[in-house]
Amino acid sequence: MQTWLKDLAGAWIFYSILPSFPCIKPSFKRIARFAPGIGLMIGSLQSCVWILFSYCGWPTPSVVAIVISFGIWVTGGLHIDGLLDTADGLAASKERRLKAMNDSRIGAGAIQTILIVILLQVSALIKLKSMAIYALPCAAFWGRCAPLWAIGRFQYLRKKGTANFHKKNIQGWKDAIPAFCLISIGLVIIFSINIESNFRSFLLISFFIGAVPTFLIPEFLGRHLGGHSGDSYGASVVAVETIVLICFALLS
């Protein structure tokens, strides 16, 4: 239990800029298993921000901009940075991919990618309107499940990379237990609350549709890059989040 709490405290610090847990010395060995839970928390905070600004009378496009900005801020831009570097890597030749990803300068591929991603997220959230409060936690949850597949499935590209500890400490299906527990809790809540059957069906379909890109996106990146790095972990998070939001918008 003590190790579990230390890793949870480490995940809290690593994946967000929120204050650390008091009286607990963080450990960073197996923090990836808690990433989906941290994502669910961040997505829920985004939903709270949405509700707050909507209550204050802000128009939907303005609320969307605030919510997306809040999501980037609360994560310290960790995943967006990975998306930019990965986009530059994919745009380069096979021999220069790692060098392009390590380059601190932002290339044309990265600029185009971030513009497309932000525009897609904005469009999906405007379409969702009040339904966005359900889509945001779901997208953030599945987005952070994606690196678990990438870590377990592919080799790490940089032997001395800062995120190599994820690969070294992965323990297979055991690291997916917290995510499975959260999925089970979510299903219990959906079936226990008093809502219309059509809305319940919408939530169920929307919730589980996120599982598809959770596997496909890291699989695609891993095969094209020849493995994964901390950057591609972050890119997987943002890509899956975006796809889940689009799926929610289409279903709504």
Q: Is 15 within the bounds of a domain?
A: no
The single residue listed with the structure tokens 């469009």 is: 123
Q: What is the pLDDT of residue 125?
A: 96
Report the C-alpha gap between 114 and 103 in whole angstroms: 17
Report the C-alpha gap between 82 and 86 in whole angstroms: 6
Q: What is the pLDDT of residue 2?
A: 63
Q: Is 18 within the bounds of a domain?
A: no
Report yes or no: 222 and 185 within 8 Å, Cβ to Cβ.
no
Q: Is 68 within the bounds of a domain?
A: yes
pLDDT at 242 over 60: yes
Nearest 5°: the CA angle 87, 89, 93 is: 130
Report yes or no: 84 and 106 within 8 Å, Cβ to Cβ.
yes
Q: Which of 4-18, 107-121, 160-174, 175-189 has the lowest mean pLDDT?
A: 160-174
Number of independent structural domains in the chain: 1
- Residue 228 phi, psi (nearest 5): -130, 160
Q: What is the pLDDT of residue 93?
A: 73
- Pick the closest to residue 74 from 13, 148, 141, 142 (CA basis): 13
- Pick the closest to residue 144 from 234, 52, 217 (CA basis): 234
Greatest pairwise CA separation for the chain in angstroms: 56
Q: Is 115 within the bounds of a domain?
A: yes
Give helix 211-225 / helix 78-91 axis angle, nearest 10°.
50
Residue 109: pLDDT band (50, 70, 90) is: confident
Q: Is 156 within the bounds of a domain?
A: yes
Q: Over the stretch 168-208, which tens digit does the pLDDT of each residue have?
A: 878 777 888 888 888 888 777 777 777 777 777 777 777 77
Q: Is 213 within the bounds of a domain?
A: yes
Q: Which domain holds residue 175?
A: 33-251
Top pLDDT among 197 and 46 is at: 46
Q: Is 75 within the bounds of a domain?
A: yes
Q: What is the pLDDT of residue 146?
A: 93
Q: Which two tokens stand for residue 57?
A: 């009378």
